[in-house]
Amino acid sequence: MTDEANVLCDCHAHIFGNREHYPLAPGAEYAPTDATVEAYTAVLADLAIERCLLVQPSIYGTDNRCMLDALDVLGARARGIAVIAPDTPRAQLQAMHRRGVRGVRLNTLPTDGPSLDQLPALEQLVGPLNWHIQILLRPDDLLASFEQLAHATVPIVLDHFASFSPGTGEEAFDALFHLAAKKNLWIKLSAPYLFSACTDQDLAYYARFVDKALHVMPDRLLWASDWPHPALKNKAIGTRQLKGMLERWVPCERLRTQIGTENPKKLYGF
């Protein structure tokens, strides 16, 4: 029997389906190989990860069918993050809620993609559903982004170490954790390879990031694998190694339980 107090949740994974059924959106910036829900289920079983969050990838645009269909397969153990247009009908949002969606993603990285200017419109849509907004920031715009996020009225989850890299300046570092004093800001400890080469020096930087976050916001940190790691360049790193990083960065078992179990349960409503 699973110990409910230690049910680990992977808070960021993607499903890439067969393109005949799930075509890429026009202008998709990458073309991944298939990463099926069956393959992901095997990874979860291998690493004893009981819960998960599926995130709509940018390559599908606002066509959420692949993610939603995977939620149907995974059932109550999974939640989802959709990508929507500012004019998405409420009935469509409510239908996604019934299938497990609990937030929307605003990915500002893609060329000609959305910006934080969409934030107020998205807040109006997701607020009545008690959803949150998950954001991937542009590293060059961190300070300006934090000024905008300070006015957010719904929970905000920042992807992938809040887009920080070992080259991020101390001014942005201080500004982020000043903003974290707002109790609606969450951060995912995920994908250190997105903005670094994951050298020993790079990983030492992220260890420092985690140490600071543990002092400021342990109740709003999340761990994620970013499976199937679409931005990964260092083939020596995989899901098992990323899980091991969490254990090294957070040696306290009580805090790991908070990050891996309690925080996702609170945010995603498991």
Q: For position 114, what pLDDT does the model report?
A: 87
Q: For position 5, what pLDDT does the model report?
A: 65
Average pLDDT, the chain: 93
Cα angle value 167/255/77 (rounded, 5°): 95
- Inform me whether the pLDDT recorded for 113 exceeds 80: no
Q: For position 1, what pLDDT does the model report?
A: 38
Look at 25-34, 53-62, 169-178 and tell me which has the smallest mean pLDDT.
25-34
Cα angle value 185/187/190 (rounded, 5°): 165
Residue 110: which domain range?
A: 4-268
> CB count, 10 Å around CB of 244?
12
203-206: long-range contacts, CB 8 A cutoff, minimum separation 24: 203/245, 205/165, 205/166, 206/161, 206/245, 206/249
Confidence class of residue 236 from pLDDT cuts 50, 70 and 90? confident
What's the number of domains the chain is made of?
Answer: 1
CA distance 155 to 268: 11
CATH number reported for the structural domain that contains residue 164 in this entry: 3.20.20.140
Q: For position 88, what pLDDT does the model report?
A: 94
pLDDT tens digits along 63-111 = 999 999 999 999 999 999 999 999 999 999 999 999 999 999 999 988 7
Residues 6 or more apart whose CB falls under 8 angstroms from that of 56 comprise 64, 67, 80, 81, 82, 83, 105
- Inform me whether the pLDDT recorded for 2 exceeds 60: no
Average pLDDT on 120-135 reads 96
Look at 89-98, 106-115, 129-138, 207-216 and tell me which has the smallest mean pLDDT.
106-115
- Inform me whether the pLDDT recorded for 269 exceeds 60: yes
Average pLDDT on 44-51 reads 96
Q: For position 30, what pLDDT does the model report?
A: 86
Confidence class of residue 56 from pLDDT cuts 50, 70 and 90? very high
- Inform me whether the pLDDT recorded for 222 exceeds 50: yes
Cα angle value 35/40/46 (rounded, 5°): 140
Q: For position 4, what pLDDT does the model report?
A: 65
39-43: long-range contacts, CB 8 A cutoff, minimum separation 24: 39/228, 40/13, 40/15, 40/70, 40/227, 40/228, 41/73, 41/74, 43/225, 43/227, 43/239
- Inform me whether the pLDDT recorded for 208 exceeds 50: yes
pLDDT tens digits along 159-207 = 999 999 999 999 999 999 999 988 899 999 999 999 999 999 999 999 9
- Inform me whether the pLDDT recorded for 237 exceeds 80: yes
